[in-house]
Structure 1
Amino acid sequence: MPGLKEQDLYLDPSIRDWVLVPITLIMVLVGLLRHYVTLLLNSAPKKQPKAAVREQRMLGRSQLLRASSPQSPLPPAQYRAFSAATATALTSGEYIKQKTAAEKEVSVGPFDPSQMDTMMDGMKKQAVMMVPNMLIMQYINVFFSGYILIKLPFPLTLGAKSLFARDLAMPDLSVRWVSALSWYFLNLFGLNGVFKLILGQDNAAVDTRDMTATGMLAGAGGAQPMAGPAGVPDMDRVFKSEAENLSLSDGLYSWVGHGIEDRVLKRFNRA
């Protein structure tokens, strides 16, 4: 049985000039605008009280000590002294910020009102992501529905037809032809590398960008902090858990300077 004949379609150059290139340019400009609008919407960090900063620094100190234990630059005696002092400070509750009366009332409520700013920032960023995409997709659906824009230079399987010919009611059309709506989706997910090249790795133009921040309150292995009823971390439990993790890391301790003389001699073939 002879193979299927290659389909030859002749596209008007005006489609390239007035549809293909403008859609790509609009997607790039919208991504740049989204990035800078998101930067403007970012709220300035609030000034933390001294007790809260002290609490976080103590937890961060313990995590640094624990993370560096397999190849620690601290000599054994100094590491054990630091580890013992840190574990004692974690279990004693000396560095835990004392809650005010209002914070104690919040801790038994359904949610923490202090997180309202964070929630609003997240909603504003989601709106910046969603609204332009909805407008552009509706614009393409109204004005360029059914347009064939480009032919891909490589073969594809029939399973990709739903991706590249979303609004083309032509079942016999080759999979390599791309419709206007499909070109929009290809740009939506395919311009991430361009935005990283223009704006850097940490940019707000990419829709899949992770907007969650666990901070320094995460436990061992990246676990989420233990939270109370209002979603506020229970620092008593977090500190006790960190003290246990620190005691376990003591068994993994190894001084980076152990056997340094033999390693230096071996490096210079003097051993």
Structure 2
Amino acid sequence: MLLDPAIRNWVLIPIMLVMVLVGIVRHYVTVLLNGTPKKADLKSARETKALQRAAILRAHGSHLPEQAFQARKSYLSEAFEKGTYLKDPIGSNKPKGNLMSDPAYVETMMDGMKKNIMNIVPQTVIMGWINFFFSGFVLIQLPFPLTIRFKSMLQRGIETQDMDVTWVSSLSWYFLNLFGLQSVFTLILGSGHAADAMRDMQAMSTMGMGAAAGPQMGPTGQPQDMHKIFLGEKENLDLAEHEWGLDDVETRLLVKYGKKPRSVLVDKRTKALAAASASAAGASSSTPPAALAATAAARSKKARRQV
């Protein structure tokens, strides 16, 4: 099959140029809509950073000595229980009012909707333009073979089963440019540009609610109850166990570099397990079974870490 060279000059290249120009214009319009960046709320940032601090402590507590770990753990658990880091400690248990009466929430939601409209409208207009003027056009043939599974992706708008899968229709060329021009936009506009096709797809699926949801918003766009989140994080901290990462580090280094046999660590592990079992068996009968099990599990875990 031969293609008319006019298709290249009047269909293929114009579609690509229009999409590049529209992406550049949309980027600058989005920058104008953003306006002056707002200052971050100190109390809201403190809530988020407190949760991050607890998560970092649970994940990397092995780099701290046990005394330092327990001190941080006790401090954060007490602060979460008392609501020290809450934005509004007094009104944390009060029922939430109507969100639409909150000017900050309404302003955030409107900003998100304006940005999403700037992402959706240009792509909708371009797709309608291509469907109206270039419906059924075959624009280009790919220079490499493909399997039949790519036919539905590369030949949208062309109802035929006999055409080779390497031919590309006008509508498929639009989608290829939509996701393939990101490197061109990065080269022209720099990193962090607003001409992002993935943002368009997310905007079409969320229709403005996703962008309006800030760090304090849930999946449905409703504010989260930070007091309950803090209590949940307190439970996670209470269950966290400390494992000092430098236990027997000298012996482990000597074993690693072949200065001592590996059986040294195995013997230490066996002795540690025996000591944990003996201490659990010889504990007072007044000690709760759950506490005994937790102590034995912690000692066994530390012993296994030494190997």
TM-score (norm 1): 0.73
CA contact (8 A) 1:59 1:216 kept: no
**Structure 2: distance between partners of 1:120 and 1:89:** 35
**Structure 2: distance between partners of 1:52 and 1:97:** 6
1:77 aligns with 2:67: yes
SS in structure 2 opposite 1:150?
strand
Q: 1:204 to 1:112 in 2, by over 3 A?
A: farther
Specify the alignment match of 1:42 in structure 2: 34
Specify the alignment match of 2:110 in structure 1: 120
**Structure 2: distance between partners of 1:42 and 1:12:** 45
**Structure 2: distance between partners of 1:128 and 1:170:** 36
Identify which of 248, 261, 264 aligns with 2:250: 261
- 1:9-158 residue pairs with structure 2 within 5 A? 9-42=1-34, 44-48=37-41, 50-69=42-61, 72-98=62-88, 107-109=96-98, 113=102, 114-156=104-146
Specify the alignment match of 1:3 in structure 2: none
SS in structure 1 opposite 2:88?
coil
**Structure 1: distance between partners of 2:34 and 2:70:** 42
Q: Displacement, 1:150?
A: 0.8
* Higher RCO (CA-CA < 8 Å; seq separation 6+): 1
Percent of matched pairs sharing the same residue: 44
Specify the alignment match of 2:301 in structure 1: none
Structure 1 residues not aligned, in runs of 5+: 1-8, 219-223
1:236 aligns with 2:190: no
**Structure 2: distance between partners of 1:164 and 1:206:** 21
- 1:101-250 residue pairs with structure 2 within 5 A? 107-109=96-98, 113=102, 114-156=104-146, 160-168=150-158, 172-192=162-182, 195=185, 202-209=192-199, 231-248=222-239, 250=240
**Structure 1: distance between partners of 2:11 and 2:127:** 13
CA contact (8 A) 1:83 1:246 kept: yes
- Which residue identity is paired with 2:232? S
- Which residue identity is paired with 1:206? D
CA contact (8 A) 2:81 2:234 kept: yes
**Structure 1: distance between partners of 2:253 and 2:214:** 40
Q: 1:95 to 1:137 in 2, by over 3 A?
A: closer
- Offset from partner CA, 1:228-262 (integer Å, 9 cap, x none): xx9222222111111001112x22x3223333323
- Which residue identity is paired with 1:236? H
Q: 1:153 to 1:233 in 2, by over 3 A?
A: same
Q: Displacement, 1:208?
A: 2.0
Q: 1:109 to 1:257 in 2, by over 3 A?
A: same
- Offset from partner CA, 1:211-236 (integer Å, 9 cap, x none): 85887669xxxxx69x9xx9222222
Larger Rg: 2
SS in structure 2 opposite 1:189?
helix
Q: Displacement, 1:148?
A: 1.8
Q: Displacement, 1:185?
A: 1.9
Q: 1:56 to 1:158 in 2, by over 3 A?
A: closer
After alignment, is 164-173 or 130-139 more displaced?
Answer: 164-173
**Structure 2: distance between partners of 1:198 and 1:266:** 55
After alignment, is 145-154 or 29-38 more displaced?
Answer: 29-38
SS in structure 2 opposite 1:258?
coil
CA contact (8 A) 2:185 2:195 kept: yes
**Structure 2: distance between partners of 1:161 and 1:52:** 50
TM-score (norm 2): 0.66
SS in structure 2 opposite 1:68?
helix
Q: 1:266 to 1:217 in 2, by over 3 A?
A: farther
Specify the alignment match of 1:6 in structure 2: none
